Structure 1
Amino acid sequence: MVQQGGAAAVAAQDVRGLSSAEAARRLASGLGNDVPIRASRSLGQIVRANVFTRINAMVAVLFAVIAVIGPLQDGLFALVIVFNTLIGVIQELRAKRTLDALAIVNAAHPRVVRDNEVTEVSTQGVVLDDVLEFGQGEQAVVDGVVLSSAGLEVDESLLTGEADPVVKQPGDPILSGSFVVAGSGRFRATKVGRDAYAARLAEEAGRFGLVNSELRAGVNRILTFITWLLLPVGALLIYSQLYLGSQVTSDAAVTDGFINGPVPDALRGMVAALVSMVPEGLVLLISIAFAVGVVRLGRRQCLVQELPAIEGLARVDVVCTDKTGTLTENGMRLSRIHQLGDTHDFPVGEVLAALAAVDPRPNLSMLAIAEAYPQAPDWEPTSIAAFSSGRRWSGASFATPEGGRNWVLGAADVLAAPGSAVADQAEEIGATGLRVLLLAAAPERVSADAAPTVITPVALVVLEQRIRDDAAATLRYFADQDVEVKVVSGDNAVSVGAVAAELELPGAHDPVDARKLPTEAAAFADRVEEGTVFGRVSPEQKRSMVRGLRERGHTVAMTGDGVNDVLALKDSDIGVAMGSGSQAARSVAQLVLLDNRFATLPYVVAEGRRVIGNIERVANLFLTKTVYSMTMASVVGVLAVAYPFLPRHATLINAVTFGIPSFFLALAPNNERARPGFVKRTLRLAVPAGLISGFAAITTYLMVLEGARTPDLTDRTAVVVTLCATTLWVLLLVAKPYVWWKVVLVGAMAGLLLTALLTPAGRTFFALDVSDPAKLTTALVVAGVAATLITVVRIVDDWFFARDTAS
């Protein structure tokens, strides 16, 4: 049981932290941070979830009836329980292994002070009273109290909803889940494991599941509706079949190991009808499609932290992306120093080296400066203002041999007066795609509260980044797929526009300075929707942009890697973080690109579209089966005639027309962007196709039955032919657009059906008889008329859909 450390224990320890032996004793005593990396399901949970399902229970009850009366051929449908369980378990275990392996790579590695040295440990390796060190972009993994602070500013928005950074001084509390936006510091762990403030929230948020999925919710609504329909239709069928059986006076007899007679025959008809009504493979194939999607993305080093993200990707129509780390390489290089006016006597190199040396958590720009000027002078810092994305500048005051000096370094258009010669010169250089920083001297001591009001510009520091080789191809892909890309950056708008223009992004020649955007919400959203490239965007503005686009009906994916992206990542439909980005960004994103390549995103979007598009196709097939089965059962129940199929006939029809083809279609390529309204679109084809198929089968049945109460094998075979021919046609319509393998697939299914009809072994096993050409001709004619009607319905539906889309 994890306990809170007492005040005496905390006071007894200093900022140097624990020893390795003390940490080991605490860990052995259960005082560790025992929060799992992921809350993925165990093997037992996976097996139980795949075995004990509502559909498996229905099928098992129906199989029990056949097990009593026989023959076993009529119980083949029960194999779906075995296949559902095995395939579901295997695919989810594959997904679990992939996710858990990637999660370990992506896991936070907090830095603790042990034996007077700073060392990285796993999240679970932190113990009570540990001293942790963290800086910009890092997230607190446990609760604690601040011991030391160097300009430490913490964002607690993920916990409190308040986006303003909170300055932390020694003695202030630190909550797990908060992250550093500026400066650095050390804090002592006072609550660890499940006692920590955000532990339960983080555990729930990281669970691998199907929560908040429009697709899953739609399928559940459909299944609920089907379940309620099964009750009256099944009751009517049971009554009619048993009533029919009671009217026949012949006795039952045991033959070849199974029971013959009117009542057993009625029960077989009832089982055949109810088995066909159950969409037994739909839920399975949805799970398979999602699990295979997770595995495929994992092979591209993409960690799916929330499963519904795959579904959301299929609906994305706007991608908001930063410039640095996505369109350009992560690293930066100092290009040149441009000294200003009569300031050549200032020691620019020494100043830059000193600023880089005292920065507690240098960003990419400061790292490039430190690389160019590694030898820092021996100046004593008296005050430090750490860089933050909100301020866009940093600075420090030094005690030097010449006296006190105060320096600031930051965005030229933030520090320099608007319209000044320095600001104009910086913008002119930035228009070429370079990053420009202004180094300036200040007369007053540097403070993080506000930028100096009076400065002396000393030099322009010009940094360059290389554009990623694959950035242009990635942008072209999104353009081809009707996905709009908006570049949202904290850099100078002209500089960002220059990079975007080089990549031929539409609208890049008209970059927008976010500081000039309207403050009124509607006007702000209008301008964001119109624009393509935005510079000088604050973290709060990024979030407002994402919210505005979503309110306009867009599905927005946000990519980012820094603390300035966290708010927007959290509020987007799909947050995508770079693996090398800040821990805070990775923790709130639904997807993490561990290879840090923006070019991976097209594969991610394509995978989402494949999964959702194929699930719609599969749902069309299974619901068509359910509708025609209910139609046939209702008509047969009203007419009080024997059900035309035996259970083995239903197994044959389901296998060749829906079961086997749907497995291949669920895993096929599919680049069509998914749209809202899954249930409506699915039912638009499935209901009319199912009704027509069901009435076609009944029409053939009544025509060949010729007034009899019970059918012979030639009658049953004619109905099988009608239904198979009609539903194979539905399969052809659903499988569009056609490629060679789909034609082969439908041909192979027709071949399997012909094998069962034309071979002696097939006819014997499935109880078929093709000896009456007249009945077969009737079956094919009726099937032809039904296929024509289904095609007309589909053409009309496509026309109405195209008209609705255009309007």
Structure 2
Amino acid sequence: MAADEPAALAGTGETDLAEPDRPTSGLTTEQVAERVARGRTNDVPDRASRSVKDIVRANVFTRINAILGVLLIIVLATGSIIDGMFGLLIIANSGIGIIQEIRAKRTLDKLAIVSQTRPVVRRDGVAAPVAPREVVLDDIIELGPGDQLVVDGEVVESQGLELDESLLTGESDAIHKDPGSHVMSGSFVASGSGAYRATKVGRDAYAARLAEEASKFTLVKSELNSGINQILRFITYLMIPAGLLIIFNQLFSSGESLGPALSGMVAALVPMVPEGLVLMTSIAFAVGVIRLGRRQCLVQELPAIEGLARVDVVCADKTGTLTENGMRLSDLEAIDGADTDEARAALASLASDDPRPNASVLAIAEAFPTAPGWGEPTAVAPFSSAKKWSGLSYGSHGNWLLGAPDVLLDPASEAARRAEELGSSGLRVLLLARSDRPVDDANAPGTVTPVALVVLEQRVRPDAKPTLEYFAGQKVDVKVISGDNAVAVGAVASSLDLPGSDNPVDARTLPEEQEALADIVESSTTFGRVRPDQKRAMVGALQSRGHTVAMTGDGVNDVLALKDSDIGVAMGSGSPATRAVAQIVLLDNKFATLPYVVAEGRRVIGNIERVSNLFLTKTVYSVLLAFLVGMSGVLSEVFDFEPLPYPFLPRHVTIAAWFTIGIPAFLLSLAPNNERARSGFVSRVMRLAIPSGIIVGVATFVCYVLVYGGPEQTEQQKIQAGTSALITLLIIAVWVLAVVARPYQWWKVLLIAGSVLGYVILFSVPFTREFFALDPSNIAYTTIAVTCAAVGVFLVEAGWWISGRIHGEPRRLFAMPDDLLPGVH
């Protein structure tokens, strides 16, 4: 676009906003203000999380709250306010869910702002980073390796600029962009540098609609949530026939007056509803987000917490993950008597003319800060992970290359031998060389004349070794995958005592066929000279063998592998592109944060499994008890006997849930838990909950049949019979809690003891006995209740041990020291 041409407003055809005099100098302050006033800004929200209004609506207007609300209205219509106490569940479900999700939303939003891409924009001839939403139409935005495009535009400057549009198109090959080329938001710079003019901003930009959906606070695509939904469907199928039977029995067969009949119906229906299961899952995830947020860990997709707990292979990049990003020049070794002063001058010039220097070039610039004044480069070849070198041509001053010695040198040369010797000690080695042709020549680098070895020092992160030891202890394999020299990568890994690091693999020798590649990747741990497409292939090869793979990285060369891995983990200091595709961003750049993420995932999965056992057990025994009582009404019509009314009042089922499910489930869902995540969540829950629920339901029904005095019983006898059935239910339900809480730790023992004490108080204090209509004074009835409960306890305990033997699951009563997570409990 010419300097004197007006800019066309994106999608409008308007042409009244003038460009600056120089196309590449950027807009003036006045022109920016004019566009802001016209609404030509990149007005995409910083993060598309749910609003507080949406969170409140989603937590209040739920199917479970609707069911409980209707039942509450029915009970209140009978005039029994006490029996409407279960209505407090509506407030608790909504209130706790709203508070935790808002806290998690605020944590996520704050971290997302810290992590967001900040494009470098030229205004008034000065380049400075701004927030993405501050970009306006016609802004000139600078680009460098790893930068992600935040708006659509047209290239105005290009120095070997190549864009990777795989996030948009799925095509992994980088595409060269010349001035005038159209570029789309969501793509990122694979190599080179340049600048582009914003032609479409805000929701007109190509990737804006995708980003708006992709970054939402969500609980979808989770094995845990899929399992819970499957359980809820199962519960629904059980509730329908049992509910119809109990309604028929209470309203038509029991012979009770309308008030007691309705109360019994509600008492039977309320415990069928798993009112806390989804709530506890949401709370566990939200608390995990908050805890990790305190450790500067941004969870961009909530199931990533769960996913990392299932990971059995971690592919870690060396630079920026195991080693610190910063480097310093250790030595400059001239080759074959080359002129050291000329080498210093060339390095200073290469460093000063690099528009986006990486860590290696920054270390060179720090060592050689004074450029020789060779003028503007006549040709430019930006660094790329594929070719492993960069270069600048300076006319009469020569064509200079800086890159990997094992790529540019003859492997049999003395210089190559020396470079490998230095690399084997853990140093990073680059080659400074001359070329016989311009660096942008199609056949570059051509004939290479080595000049000097540039030796750089990298510092191993002090927390890298204990982190690797943690993963080894958790039986998680770590693969070090790097673009650096294989020997150098092996030296760093060996210093961290990583098993197998003494035999590093040069990725240039890896086969392309997936099966053969998977064999090598599974058996080896350290890889060097890995191209970006090979990183991706290695992740795919591991996944083909059934592994759940996490990939960590910080550079643009890691993007493809991060995108394809099960869990992508990016460093906060990494390129914007890596942060965009990763599910987890470590804002403090600490590899040692990963064990805490694993711990949170295991806590979520293990604790929700425990909680699901409790809620599903309650639902099974509630449905079964309602079914058995309901069938008595149906059979009474056929065999002419008196049907059984439902034994409990709504207030009874409320207190039954307090200390066997409600409070214990809340505490268990937030407790430490280092059990390794396993597949088969639904089947394991069913194996415990269904038999336990059947035992509780049958034992309670048998006790009630034995103590029921018939329709002629007095009101006191009716209360005593219901109390006896409740005693049986509570004793077995508390024992189910004791089984679910295993292996025991001191706080779990206190939790169970507290539950028992709570019920002892309810049954012992005169006020609570009267308030909750409890009467355990009939010794004969209570003896029957305890006897039935003892049989039920024996069956639950025997079933737990037998199930463990059948399914090969180890059973332990008490926790071992290694059940606690080192450093994170």
TM range (shorter): over 0.9
Residue 689 in structure 1 maps to residue 682 in structure 2: no
The aligned residue for residue 788 of structure 1 is: 794
Q: 2:284 aligns with which of 289, 297, 316?
A: 289
CA contact 1:407–1:440 (8 Å) conserved in 2: yes
Give, as a single letter, the amino acid of the residue that structure 2 aligns with 1:160: T
The aligned residue for residue 522 of structure 1 is: 515
Give, as a single letter, the amino acid of the residue that structure 1 aligns with 2:776: V
SS of 2:279 mapped into structure 1: helix
Structure 2 CA distance for partners of 1:4 and 1:123, relative to 1, 3 Å: farther
Cα distance in 2 between the residues matched to 1:664 and 1:769: 30
Give, as a single letter, the amino acid of the residue that structure 2 aligns with 1:306: E
Cα distance in 2 between the residues matched to 1:27 and 1:739: 61
CA contact 2:437–2:446 (8 Å) conserved in 1: no
Shift of 1:227: 2.0
The aligned residue for residue 342 of structure 1 is: 337
Q: 2:389 aligns with which of 393, 413, 425?
A: 393
Q: Deviations over 1:379-436 (max 9, x none)?
A: 131111111112211111113xxx2401111011111123332222211111111111
The aligned residue for residue 747 of structure 1 is: 753
Shift of 1:438: 1.1
Residue 150 in structure 1 maps to residue 162 in structure 2: no
Counterparts in 2 of 1:620-699, with a 5 A limit? 620-640=613-633, 641-699=644-702
CA contact 1:2–1:193 (8 Å) conserved in 2: no
Q: Greater CA deviation, 349-358 or 545-554?
A: 545-554
Q: 1:375 aligns with which of 370, 390, 412?
A: 370
Give, as a single letter, the amino acid of the residue that structure 2 aligns with 1:224: R
The aligned residue for residue 32 of structure 1 is: 41
Shift of 1:229: 2.3
Cα distance in 1 between the residues matched to 2:73 and 2:152: 56
CA contact 1:360–1:386 (8 Å) conserved in 2: no
**What is the number of residues matched between the two proteins?**
788
CA contact 1:244–1:266 (8 Å) conserved in 2: no
The aligned residue for residue 296 of structure 2 is: 301
Shift of 1:70: 2.9
Q: 1:230 aligns with which of 217, 224, 239?
A: 239
CA contact 2:19–2:27 (8 Å) conserved in 1: no
Q: Deviations over 1:680-723 (max 9, x none)?
A: 11111111111111111111111112566876111111111111
Shift of 1:185: 0.5
CA contact 1:642–1:709 (8 Å) conserved in 2: no
Cα distance in 2 between the residues matched to 1:651 and 1:11: 70
Cα distance in 1 between the residues matched to 2:663 and 2:577: 45
Cα distance in 2 between the residues matched to 1:740 and 1:508: 41
Structure 2 CA distance for partners of 1:709 and 1:738, relative to 1, 3 Å: farther
Cα distance in 1 between the residues matched to 2:444 and 2:223: 47
Q: 1:469 aligns with which of 462, 467, 472?
A: 462
Q: Deviations over 1:344-379 (max 9, x none)?
A: 466111111111111121111111111100011111
The aligned residue for residue 58 of structure 1 is: 67
Residue 210 in structure 1 maps to residue 239 in structure 2: no
Q: 1:727 aligns with which of 730, 733, 741?
A: 733
Structure 2 CA distance for partners of 1:611 and 1:345, relative to 1, 3 Å: closer
CA contact 2:17–2:35 (8 Å) conserved in 1: no
SS of 1:438 mapped into structure 2: strand
Structure 2 CA distance for partners of 1:368 and 1:623, relative to 1, 3 Å: same
Counterparts in 2 of 1:491-506, with a 5 A limit? 491-506=484-499
SS of 1:138 mapped into structure 2: coil
Cα distance in 2 between the residues matched to 1:386 and 1:686: 62
Q: 1:119 aligns with which of 91, 113, 128?
A: 128
CA contact 2:300–2:584 (8 Å) conserved in 1: yes
Counterparts in 2 of 1:51-450, with a 5 A limit? 51-245=60-254, 248=255, 262-344=257-339, 347-380=342-375, 381-399=377-395, 403-447=396-440, 449=442
Aligned residues: CA RMSD: 1.7
5+ unaligned residues in a row in structure 1: which ranges? 249-260
Q: 2:54 aligns with which of 45, 49, 55?
A: 45
Shift of 1:547: 1.4
Cα distance in 2 between the residues matched to 1:420 and 1:585: 37
Residue 588 in structure 1 maps to residue 594 in structure 2: no
CA contact 2:482–2:527 (8 Å) conserved in 1: yes
Residue 769 in structure 1 maps to residue 778 in structure 2: no
The aligned residue for residue 815 of structure 2 is: none
Give, as a single letter, the amino acid of the residue that structure 2 aligns with 1:232: P
Cα distance in 1 between the residues matched to 2:809 and 2:665: 29
The aligned residue for residue 256 of structure 1 is: none
Cα distance in 2 between the residues matched to 1:804 and 1:746: 22
Residue 483 in structure 1 maps to residue 479 in structure 2: no
SS of 1:378 mapped into structure 2: coil
Cα distance in 1 between the residues matched to 2:96 and 2:547: 36
Q: Deviations over 1:744-790 (max 9, x none)?
A: 11111111101111110111011010111121121112111111111
Shift of 1:9: 6.4
Shift of 1:169: 0.6
Structure 2 CA distance for partners of 1:753 and 1:242, relative to 1, 3 Å: same
Give, as a single letter, the amino acid of the residue that structure 1 aligns with 2:143: F
Cα distance in 2 between the residues matched to 1:486 and 1:393: 25
Shift of 1:21: 1.3
Structure 2 CA distance for partners of 1:6 and 1:481, relative to 1, 3 Å: same
CA contact 1:385–1:446 (8 Å) conserved in 2: yes
SS of 1:162 mapped into structure 2: coil
Cα distance in 1 between the residues matched to 2:563 and 2:80: 58
Give, as a single letter, the amino acid of the residue that structure 2 aligns with 1:501: S
CA contact 1:5–1:191 (8 Å) conserved in 2: no
SS of 1:329 mapped into structure 2: strand
Give, as a single letter, the amino acid of the residue that structure 1 aligns with 2:345: E
CA contact 1:2–1:30 (8 Å) conserved in 2: no
Give, as a single letter, the amino acid of the residue that structure 1 aligns with 2:112: A
CA contact 1:16–1:131 (8 Å) conserved in 2: yes
The aligned residue for residue 454 of structure 1 is: 447
Q: Deviations over 1:623-681 (max 9, x none)?
A: 00000001101111111211111111100111110111000000000111212222111
The aligned residue for residue 704 of structure 2 is: 701
SS of 2:110 mapped into structure 1: helix
Cα distance in 2 between the residues matched to 1:18 and 1:149: 19
Give, as a single letter, the amino acid of the residue that structure 1 aligns with 2:433: A
Shift of 1:5: 6.2
Shift of 1:600: 0.9
Shift of 1:182: 1.2
Shift of 1:611: 1.1
5+ unaligned residues in a row in structure 2: which ranges? 1-8, 634-643, 812-825
Give, as a single letter, the amino acid of the residue that structure 2 aligns with 1:519: E
Cα distance in 2 between the residues matched to 1:610 and 1:503: 28
Structure 2 CA distance for partners of 1:788 and 1:799, relative to 1, 3 Å: same
TM-score, normalised relative to structure 1: 0.95
Shift of 1:203: 1.3
Q: 1:576 aligns with which of 564, 569, 574?
A: 569
The aligned residue for residue 507 of structure 1 is: 500
Give, as a single letter, the amino acid of the residue that structure 1 aligns with 2:423: G
The aligned residue for residue 255 of structure 1 is: none
Structure 2 CA distance for partners of 1:8 and 1:268, relative to 1, 3 Å: closer
Cα distance in 2 between the residues matched to 1:173 and 1:749: 67
Cα distance in 1 between the residues matched to 2:791 and 2:340: 94
SS of 2:323 mapped into structure 1: coil
SS of 2:748 mapped into structure 1: helix
Give, as a single letter, the amino acid of the residue that structure 1 aligns with 2:195: R
